[in-house]
Chain A
């Protein structure tokens, strides 16, 4: 069975600081990995996805995630946090068939001025 683990239910940073949200996966087959964001009382939106092409995946607004097979990780980074980045972030994993996604428990990012 596939699963993802997100370390840290809450991460706090100052505006302008580096953002690092951690995601480790477990999969017996080559995984496909995703990062989604959720703002309060809304659905989730896709930020970026890894599907076995380039290991460094770039999203919008400076977001990046790097697939590291040796570390079974897919951490999300952003060089400089903005107040509007405050939200809950979810990592997810799927197999090649994409029949269903398995989500992590989420990390709430708090950004202080």
Chain B
């Protein structure tokens, strides 16, 4: 079945460590997105990519990095520079210029 796969579902990390969250889609969508979700704050956009080898910062990009080397993949690295990384991270993809986002099931990152 077509969809978006995020891994791992749960991740624990020590302070000062970088961690990479995986996002893979087989929907043949051009656009991909990373959002961060915190209780009471809704979804905040971290990075997005409209095409392979190109991506743009969202509203809260500091402390995060991404790459888009393949159409199917958009991994997110949470670096040690991110001061408050504990959150639920959601990846999404979208057919170009429709506004309809297809979400993965999320990755919950906890910093110990």
Contact = CB atoms under 8 A, between A and B. Distances in A.
A42 B106 contact: yes
Given A98-B94, A98-B97, A100-B33, A45 B42 contact: no
Nearest to B35: A103
| Chain B interface extent, by class | 20 to 34
Interface string A20-62: 0000000000001010100001111110010100000000000
Q: Which of B41, B43, B48 has the most CB of A within 10 A?
A: B43
B99 interface: yes
Given A41-B105, A43-B90, A43-B105, A105 B40 contact: yes
B36 to A, nearest CB: 11
B98 interface: yes
Contacts of B50: 99
Interface of A: 9, 32, 34, 36, 41-46, 49, 51, 90, 94, 97-106
B103 A43 contact: yes
Interface string B90-110: 101010111111011110100
